A and B are shown apart, each in its own frame.
Chain A
């Protein structure tokens, strides 16, 4: 079935296809229409789920954690300040090894107050032990929700999928909806390995002394390593069943390119147009889209960038005091490569607080990168006003 859906509605329909059993959520712009659509789907009987109207995002995630620990497949959605308020619970879900799935609508952090997109909210949660996917289209949002459950439940880690505020959350596209029956063939009902079972009781959240805490963390790392394989498998299997695959990264005209731009989120779609245009004018440029950010697909990124001379990373985020976060990750991934497989990496700060990344901006970045001969590691701000 095809429907015209917003990015937010696509997230909700994804959770519907995956048959989430408990939705626990709190309103926040620009996420709210995700949970409204879920409330609608539940009210119409299209999704047999409990919908809990909690009193804050902290409680929303706690509600998911409780339900997941009781053996249910859960879903929630949030944005920016809401995600920040959840921070304690994000750690809880991950360290409790509960495969909660959540959509986060990328919105800039306050103050000053902004409801528009940038990636600082989700990237600030990088170290909580959640997987993170960055989506580019509404179809990818819906498909990623379904894939997210597959991966999360295979490795017992929670997954956050991320979509840009307004550019994706509130814009409409035709979206193919697999429906619950077909999704069931891909994603079987949730069978928790350990849960609060009345017949065989288990305890979550006990005190862990110094002599075993590290081992818990080590097991999480092993699960993250496995998640990289599971995410790849989940995408391939999805492609076989539904005819759509995205990869963990996507290389667009990057094999022969001297300059490769790196993007995540909706800026990718705009960048594709710019790449086509620049290549038509004879420029040797390509694109690398990062879809999976945690676990970081370092080896795939190394291979994608091995042959080019320079990389221009578009960071719609800023780690103040260090620079763009995607640029840092890529530099780190390439550090141990031999010099001939280690291109110059230029980090661009762009589009913060929802400032539009239009084709001219991306072309300006490509122009700038092509002129640079020294890799000095400095952050480059694009479009700053005096």
Chain B
């Protein structure tokens, strides 16, 4: 399907502020293609973000958007979804935004299983503020706040979300836009809380300090660490060490979505009050 960028983007806001070679462009494109193929009316979609490089994306989208505070995008999105459960809510966030300052809201959104699609761009660093350690910075990696290497163990965001109760968890990477589009589309079509973690490159802040300052080289490095989820199922724990399974990691269509459950409480209360 041909992509009609002008239907989605605020072309007058170009050029964007992302560094040349940044993976966020690939991810926004995959998101827009996924939105186009599910054929939702564009005005029925709200895209919410917090703070960081990724969170600048809604500024370039010609849609209903809310650029909120650091880490709180999911809480704003929850408010929107409960006010207008008939509409579609997409949140786009980074690893620092979603898993550090917003970590609490991330696990509680998973727990509720509210029908929101969350895309987390995981580039292992706080890019916008200049390359500080994030909760996904690998052990030993250098950052502006860890000149001798990071001592804080990183989160596995996808496992965290699965464990916290998200009913659709997928991991993609910027090396494959086509797969990413498919995974995001699956999340959009899923009734419940859907998380798509995207392994992305910040060559400017992460790569530069870790001998991977060339974007292609860093993307290749990311791709080399990935293994398809079907392949991963056949691998031993030792073989999987340091590898990131990609694809659809978890899907549960049985568990009730949050607003559906909430409606039943409303019906119960109304019935009791009528008596």
A53 contacts which chain B residues (CB < 8 A)?
Answer: 132-133, 145-146, 152
A40 touching B147 in the complex, CB below 8 Å, given contacts A56-B71, A81-B70 = yes
Write the chain B residue with the least CB distance to A33.
B130
B233 contacts which chain A residues (CB < 8 A)?
Answer: none
- Contact residue among B100, B147, B152 (Cβ-Cβ distance under 8 Å from A43): B147
A56 and B100 contacting across the interface, CB-CB below 8 Å? yes
A32 and B132 contacting across the interface, CB-CB below 8 Å? yes
A110 to B49 Cα, complex, angstroms? 14
* Minimum C-beta distance from B55 to chain A (A): 10
A39 and B135 contacting across the interface, CB-CB below 8 Å? no
A43 contacts which chain B residues (CB < 8 A)?
Answer: 147-148
- Count of A-B contacts judged by CB separation below 8 Å: 53
B67 and A36 contacting across the interface, CB-CB below 8 Å? no
A32 and B129 contacting across the interface, CB-CB below 8 Å? yes
Interface status of A127 (Cβ within 8 A of chain B): no
A32 to B146 Cα, complex, angstroms? 13
B101 and A56 contacting across the interface, CB-CB below 8 Å? yes
* Minimum C-beta distance from A84 to chain B (A): 9
A contact residues, total (Cβ < 8 Å): 22
Secondary structure of the B side of the interface?
loop
Interface residues on B, range: 20 to 34
B67 contacts which chain A residues (CB < 8 A)?
Answer: 111, 113
* Minimum C-beta distance from A24 to chain B (A): 11
Interface status of B69 (Cβ within 8 A of chain A): yes
Write the chain A residue with the least CB distance to B56.
A113
Interface status of B103 (Cβ within 8 A of chain A): yes
Chain A, residues 202-245, CB within 8 Å of chain B (1/0): the string is 00000000000000000000000000000000000000000000
A55 to B103 Cα, complex, angstroms? 8
* Minimum C-beta distance from B25 to chain A (A): 21
A129 contacts which chain B residues (CB < 8 A)?
Answer: none
A residues 101-131 touching B (CB-CB < 8 Å)? 110-111, 113
A81 contacts which chain B residues (CB < 8 A)?
Answer: 51, 69-70
Q: Among the interface residues B100, B133, B146, which one has the most CB atoms of the partner chain A within 10 A?
A: B100
A59 to B242 Cα, complex, angstroms? 30
A8 to B224 Cα, complex, angstroms? 39
Write the chain A residue with the least CB distance to B130.
A32
Write the chain A residue with the least CB distance to B70.
A81
* Minimum C-beta distance from B66 to chain A (A): 9
Chain B, residues 46-80, CB within 8 Å of chain A (1/0): the string is 00000100000000000000010111000000000
Chain B, residues 234-245, CB within 8 Å of chain A (1/0): the string is 000000000000
A85 contacts which chain B residues (CB < 8 A)?
Answer: 69-70
Interface status of B265 (Cβ within 8 A of chain A): no
A275 to B132 Cα, complex, angstroms? 43
A56 contacts which chain B residues (CB < 8 A)?
Answer: 70-71, 100-101
A345 to B221 Cα, complex, angstroms? 64
* Minimum C-beta distance from B71 to chain A (A): 7
A51 and B128 contacting across the interface, CB-CB below 8 Å? no
Write the chain B residue with the least CB distance to A57.
B101
A27 and B129 contacting across the interface, CB-CB below 8 Å? yes
A51 and B145 contacting across the interface, CB-CB below 8 Å? yes
* Minimum C-beta distance from B251 to chain A (A): 29
Chain A, residues 30-57, CB within 8 Å of chain B (1/0): the string is 0011011001100100000001010111
Interface status of A26 (Cβ within 8 A of chain B): yes
A51 to B71 Cα, complex, angstroms? 22
A27 touching B126 in the complex, CB below 8 Å, given contacts A32-B132, A53-B132, A56-B101 = yes
- Contact residue among A36, A57, A82 (Cβ-Cβ distance under 8 Å from B132): A36
**Residues in B lying within 8 Å of A, measured CB to CB:** 51, 67, 69-71, 100-101, 103, 126, 128-130, 132-133, 135, 144-148, 152
Across the A-B interface, give the 6 residue pairs with the lowest CB-CB distance, nearest first. A27-B129, A56-B101, A55-B100, A43-B147, A27-B132, A32-B129
Task: Give 25 A-B contacts (CB < 8 Å), ordered by A residue.
Answer: A26-B101, A27-B144, A27-B145, A32-B129, A32-B130, A32-B144, A33-B130, A35-B132, A36-B130, A36-B132, A36-B144, A36-B145, A39-B144, A39-B145, A53-B132, A53-B145, A55-B100, A55-B135, A56-B71, A56-B101, A57-B101, A81-B70, A85-B70, A110-B69, A113-B67
**Residues in A lying within 8 Å of B, measured CB to CB:** 26-29, 32-33, 35-36, 39-40, 43, 51, 53, 55-57, 81-82, 85, 110-111, 113
8 new A-B pairs (CB below 8 Å) besides A26-B101, A39-B146? A27-B126, A27-B144, A35-B132, A39-B144, A39-B145, A39-B147, A43-B147, A55-B103
